[in-house]
Structure 1
Amino acid sequence: MAEHLRIINPPQPRRASGLVLTETATNILRSVKLVADEPGTLTMVAGIPGVGKSETLVRYVQNNPEAIKMDIVADEGKVWDLAAAFMELFDMGTPNNRRMREERQRITEAIGADRVVIFDEAQYLANYNPRGGFNFDAYEWVRAMAEEGSFSVVFCGDLSLADTIGSVPLLRRRMVRPVVIRSVPKGDVVTFAEARGVTDATITDALAAVAKRHGGLADVKRTLDHAAKRAGDRRISAADGKAALQYLGLSIPGGRQCRTRPKPKPHCLNRFWH
């Protein structure tokens, strides 16, 4: 299963082409830099889909060749899976399930001090326990390695990650400047649109409304891409933006936005992060 824990490791990381430094991206990078400057610390980036979390962290890896980024897949975030992924990265063979403490020490030494290790989709490190509830052994395993090896950790995921870490006092107390993003700021949409040469308030207001739905900046990008094709060599107009929204099914006749989806119920543990 370890092969599904995809590791982004230089020199050939996935390219974060066209990343726009929005307010949210800048905020995320500030927290990552903070833990990078304090080896052995942890931080969290939790937010709704489509705000640029992963793209921002990919860009960080590109600009910091010693950083490691691991993508966690559902049901494959157990301690053994993590150990196997790290040992594959460092050509250390396969972990011995009976000697996980020794394997953890070996992996810690292989990672080395002063590096940043990023776990994307880190909500999947919470594993369901058939006897009831979830266990958080993988988080504790990573925390112990980071403190022993003096490297920094970034847990990135959806809003359920904030609930998970918020429910474990040992982890919550160790979070340095956690970032929790519950909506796409309109300023992010404006910055993203301006990077495409779009400043018309009519368009940016409509795009901001679209971003509030579940697509986030991904829907904004899709809309602007289609509007640019329609505009051709000329500047994107409000009519181009409206046509793109209608074509993509993000608006209804008359200029009104599509009926918004029901707001998700608040997470029961969100009280830990304000």
Structure 2
Amino acid sequence: MAQHLRIANAGIIRRQVGDWAETETAIDIRRSLEMVWTAERPSMTMISGGPGIGKTTAIQQFCDSLGHDAIYIQAARGEGTAWNFAHALANLWGYAKPTFNCLSEARDKIAKSIGKPRVLIVDEAQYLHQRNGKTGQTGEAFEWVRATADTGGFDVVFCGDLNLPNAINAMPQLQSRMMRPVVIKQASRADVAAIVEGTAFATEKAIEVLFLIAKMHGGLRNVENVIRLALLFAGSGHPRPEHLTAAIADMKLVPKGGV
């Protein structure tokens, strides 16, 4: 049975685990985002990945770099029809939000509100692939976003889980527009190394162990949580391998075969 250590007084924080890390995945995602943003004409791309690989963090970092030129929105489960999504987009403008009575009017008004040369980034975009109870159409929200982007002349990025590629590929008119789509099933060892860089766990042995943790559901979030707990166990002392082992056991993340 793994030894459970008492959490010590944390004392001085060595490093803010969870701060931005230049991971292999983040670099790959940013490459596609920059290609869309710098293209001569309005473009689209897709960012798809398993949970916890850092896709949302990378996208939000990109949005921060663009400031006012980036429009970020999350789609919600159960609200992915074109009509619902049009209203969700309109709500981004608060009291000045555009109002409309039909989807064609919504397309024109929201296209004008976004306009050139901005980029619309839709996170959790897999939820746009939803059957409309009235029309029976599946994925109509994707098509409505495409038409709105064409009208307004802005770029679009669809970001979502590993169901997103199937949804996009089911619509050839949309799939053919994707510029350098990114599909990443899980975090890489290089991603883990970037996360632990500058910490006491930036060793070959610790990285190998944490890579096993990153392969589990939760990805790099597991890695960050384990490191945080290991640092708490270490307190003001130097973190040691047993602190990492104890943190993994305490988080109930021991992989098959142990660590």
Calculate the TM-score normalised by the size of structure 2. Answer: 0.86
1:19 corresponds to which residue? 20
2:30 corresponds to which residue? 29
**How far did 1:148 drift?**
2.4
The yes-or-no answer on 1:89 pairing with 2:68 is no
2:237 corresponds to which residue? 234
**Stretch of structure 1 that moved more, 133-142 or 66-75:** 133-142
The yes-or-no answer on 1:147 pairing with 2:147 is no
**CA–CA separation in structure 2 for the residues paired with 1:197 and 1:133:** 55
Q: String of CA shifts for 1:76-120, please: whole Å, max 9, x gaps.
A: 1211122212323332343213xx212211211111111111000
Q: Percent identity?
A: 36
Q: 1:250 to 1:133 in 2, by over 3 A?
A: farther
RMSD: 2.1
Match of 1:211 among 196, 211, 214: 214
Amino acid at match of 1:95: F
- For the Cα contact (< 8 Å) 1:40–1:148, is it kept in 2? no
Alignment map for 1:56-135 (pairs within 5 Å): 56-65=58-67, 66-90=69-93, 91-97=96-102, 100-129=103-132, 135=138
- For the Cα contact (< 8 Å) 1:126–1:134, is it kept in 2? no
**CA–CA separation in structure 2 for the residues paired with 1:57 and 1:189:** 19
SS at match of 2:163: helix
Q: String of CA shifts for 1:116-157, please: whole Å, max 9, x gaps.
A: 110000000011255998611111111112122221111000
**How far did 1:193 drift?**
1.1
Match of 2:185 among 182, 187, 190: 182
Amino acid at match of 2:63: V
Alignment map for 1:1-12 (pairs within 5 Å): none
**How far did 1:235 drift?**
3.5
Q: 1:134 to 1:230 in 2, by over 3 A?
A: farther
2:10 corresponds to which residue? none
**How far did 1:62 drift?**
1.5
**How far did 1:224 drift?**
0.2
**CA–CA separation in structure 2 for the residues paired with 1:252 and 1:123:** 30
Match of 1:196 among 191, 195, 199: 199
**CA–CA separation in structure 2 for the residues paired with 1:252 and 1:120:** 30
- For the Cα contact (< 8 Å) 2:248–2:254, is it kept in 1? yes
**How far did 1:158 drift?**
0.3
SS at match of 1:43: strand
Tell me the matched-pair count: 238
The yes-or-no answer on 1:137 pairing with 2:140 is yes
Match of 1:43 among 42, 45, 50: 45
Unaligned 5+ runs, structure 2: 1-17
Unaligned 5+ runs, structure 1: 1-16, 258-274
**Stretch of structure 1 that moved more, 227-236 or 18-27:** 227-236
**How far did 1:175 drift?**
0.2
- For the Cα contact (< 8 Å) 1:79–1:137, is it kept in 2? yes
SS at match of 1:159: coil
**Relative contact order, CA 8 A, sep 6+: which one is greater?**
2
- For the Cα contact (< 8 Å) 1:20–1:195, is it kept in 2? no
Q: 1:24 to 1:133 in 2, by over 3 A?
A: farther
**CA–CA separation in structure 1 for the residues paired with 2:77 and 2:139:** 14
Calculate the TM-score normalised by the size of structure 1. Answer: 0.81
**CA–CA separation in structure 2 for the residues paired with 1:149 and 1:22:** 33
- For the Cα contact (< 8 Å) 1:88–1:94, is it kept in 2? no
Amino acid at match of 1:43: T
